[in-house]
Amino acid sequence: MTQSPFKDGLLDGKVAFVAGGTSGINLGIAKRYAELGAKVAVLGRNPEKAANAAAEIGHGAIGLTADVRDYGAIRAAMEDVRSRLGPMDIVVSGAAGNFLAPALGMSANAFKTVVDIDLNGTFNVFRGCHDLLAPNASLIAITAGQAVNAMQLQAHACAAKAGINQLIRVLALEWGPDVRVNGISPGPIEGTEGMARLAPDASTKQKHFERIAMKRWGIIEEIAEGAVFLSSDAAKYITGTILDIDGGSQLGDATRRDLGSGLA
């Protein structure tokens, strides 16, 4: 990746908590926060993944386990973060679950499971952290293009992520000026569990490339840079927004057309 514009020490003295930060995009965000000086805690369900993630992040990061669907458990985990690291300046809600299934191929529990993890989990994380925050805290929810584009086989994720987008906006209204609440909407990102599930074969992947203005998938570090920006003072007047970091994925279909004499 090209050199980051962010200087070492940018997040010195900050405390960052990343729900779902034990793998993939969210782990990349947690790593970048730690590299820039933040004290970091990550959380997932699997204890081994959480311990490995903390070790990979280094800089004294801690790995915690809880299910974001369980308000009491997530609240207890965040109280633990506050007592061990201090009040939280940055909270990222990125835990999610997804799979491809038509609406008629998913049980009521299958739909509910994804809505519970993504949407209700984000409410639990944000509701649960509010009185544990440092002044001028920055909250970021990880949403997706499914929030605004209807996609077949994605009824659960579309509904959940659309709910997250509105939750971001409502909490930004209710919690300003002390707390900023924003979202990041990544495009398809290389090497992630999400894309392994949504585009498992090479030809689906190639079709994705053609449709995206930037003609490639993104990389985890590109999402992490956006998270640093939103968490920094450079974004201190930004709240209630969704930052699309997606190479133009949501603009429409960028497949090349023969424009012919239309170019004259």
Q: Summarize as ranges the residues that interact with ligand COA (CB under 6 A).
A: 96-99, 101, 105-107, 109-110, 113-114, 193-194, 197
Two tokens, residue 57: 């992040």
- Distance, C-alpha 143 to centroid of its chain: 6
Smallest gap from Cβ 40 to ligand COA, in A, equals: 21
SS3 191: coil
Taking CA atoms, 86 is separated from 129, 130, 135, 168, 194, in Å, by 12, 14, 12, 24, 32
CA–CA separation, 121 and 110 (whole Å)? 15
In the bound state with ligand COA, the residue whose beta carbon lies nearer, of 103 and 251, is: 103
SS3 135: strand
Sheet holding 88-93, edge to edge: 62-65, 39-44, 15-19, 88-93, 133-142, 179-186, 242-245
Two tokens, residue 42: 């990550």
Select the residue whose beta carbon is closest to ligand COA and give its number: 97
Q: Residue 49 binds which one of ligand NAP, ligand COA, none, with CB within 5 to 8 A depending on kind? A: ligand NAP
Query: Rule CB under 6 A: which residues touch ligand NAP?
Result: 20, 22-26, 44-46, 49, 67-69, 94-97, 117, 142, 144, 186, 188-189, 192-195
Two tokens, residue 241: 């927004």
Rg (CA), the chain: 18
Q: Residue 182 binds which one of ligand NAP, ligand COA, none, with CB within 5 to 8 A depending on kind? A: none
In the bound state with ligand NAP, the residue whose beta carbon lies nearer, of 163 and 188, is: 188
In the bound state with ligand NAP, the residue whose beta carbon lies nearer, of 134 and 211, is: 211
Q: Residue 241 binds which one of ligand NAP, ligand COA, none, with CB within 5 to 8 A depending on kind? A: none
Cis peptide before 177 (omega within 30 of 0): yes
Length of the chain: 264
Smallest gap from Cβ 199 to ligand COA, in A, equals: 12
Q: Residue 44 binds which one of ligand COA, ligand NAP, none, with CB within 5 to 8 A depending on kind? A: ligand NAP
Q: Residue 3 binds which one of ligand NAP, ligand COA, none, with CB within 5 to 8 A depending on kind? A: none
In the bound state with ligand COA, the residue whose beta carbon lies nearer, of 197 and 236, is: 197
In the bound state with ligand COA, the residue whose beta carbon lies nearer, of 98 and 122, is: 98
Smallest gap from Cβ 254 to ligand NAP, in A, equals: 17
